[in-house]
Structure 1
Amino acid sequence: MTKLSVNINKLATLRNSRGGNVPNLLKSVQDIESFGAQGITIHPRPDERHIKYQDALDLKNVVTTEYNIEGNPIPKFIDLVLKIKPTQVTLVPDAEDAITSNAGWNTEKHLDFLKEVIETFKSNGIRTSIFVDPDTKMVECAAKTGTDRIELYTESFAHAFAMGNKEGIIPFTKAAEVANKLKLGINAGHDLNLDNIKFFKENIPNLLEVSIGHALICESIYLGLENVVNMYIHRLK
């Protein structure tokens, strides 16, 4: 089955909005894993508006499943990842002031830079993934960087699906087929939710992992965190 990695950024945002330590991020992670999630994702940003760099360090000793750290590989981020050595690092080209990730890498333009960064992480035993749009050329260039995986940026699919247009999945299926031929592992994330996740999974061959945060936490407000985690796992089988 496809693994579910829960992005806990929104829990950190909620905590930070009042100061203090409610909700307790470390306890939340332990609970999410006990509910069945197969991974935990964080995306620390330079302004630490949700996940703080100290959170990333503290979670190293708490996460017992797969630990995935996302971010733009600026020097401070690279140093953090090398110190923690998580299961996976996902490289995302987001600007410092971006509200959320909004584009994949131009893997052709940034090929040399990505190759250098990926070699650094892989030489330290960290699995690498590159955030990419569903563009076959970008997937082909991603393979040249030496990355282990790509993460498909799924916002356009989610938007189309919500409008009743299931053909929005087509470029993602094509990108996945190319990735499979190039022996790249496939992850996915951004705006995936309980309504669209099953259809997406069914149309992406060899989808290894999805990273879901905003939707999962919002759905949990109504349905309960344990229930929602298991609803995703059921849809991903």
Structure 2
Amino acid sequence: MKADTPKRKIFSDAVDLLVGDPPAGVAAGGGVEMLDINGIRPFHGHPFPLYEGERLDDMVESIKEHGILNPVIVRKMHYGYEMLSGHNSQNAGKLAGLTQIPAIVKENLSDADAYVYVIETNLMQRSFTDLSISEKAAVQLSYLPEQAQKLALEASEKSGVVINKDIAAKVRKAPMTEKAILEAIAGKQPEVDPVLGVVEEKPAPKPIKLSAGIREKYFQDTDPKQVEAIIDKALAAWFKKKR
């Protein structure tokens, strides 16, 4: 349960922002800064598309009339700021002619915690069924530890396999090791011998099935192991005679 505590706190913060009740410590301007609206970079690999069409137009008109009511959430980076929650507010604000945007600045935030802000705030605004398959895969991967997320992305790039919703579900069930995550994404990998290189595994031979007529004629009520032994002896004698 302790491992879930930071994520639940982030979820609580996100809910407060969406319903218009800022998290503790940011009321009356505390913790909210006015930032250059063009000085915030989108979250790296942001998995959600920006609003378009009527939904975007309505948001722009609302901002022109009322401004941005809820602050966006950003994290401080060495180059400036990265957007966690508020990509659409930033985009609509630019179209509305704003030069600054109210923001809650998070510092010393890990990639894993940052990703939780991105995913959970978006899921609260969109129906899960409305998300595209890549987006649903991103949701699945967001529940993994940070290191496992990095291994999954590296395995996807290495193998050339795009992680869809089903593959992401397999990754979540796999042991959190590089080999297991790679196999969950790209399938079982061939053995690599330090001298011979890649050693391709031979496909397992398909079992030979006896017809119902042969079984009834020769092996009725015979144990399967005895059937195998009889056939082995018969074939050995036949090949010996043939030579």
Scaled by the length of structure 1, what TM-score is found?
0.22
Who wins on radius of gyration, i.e. which is larger? 2
Q: Which of 1 and 2 has higher RCO (CA within 8 Å, sep 6+)?
A: 1
Structure with the larger helix share: 2
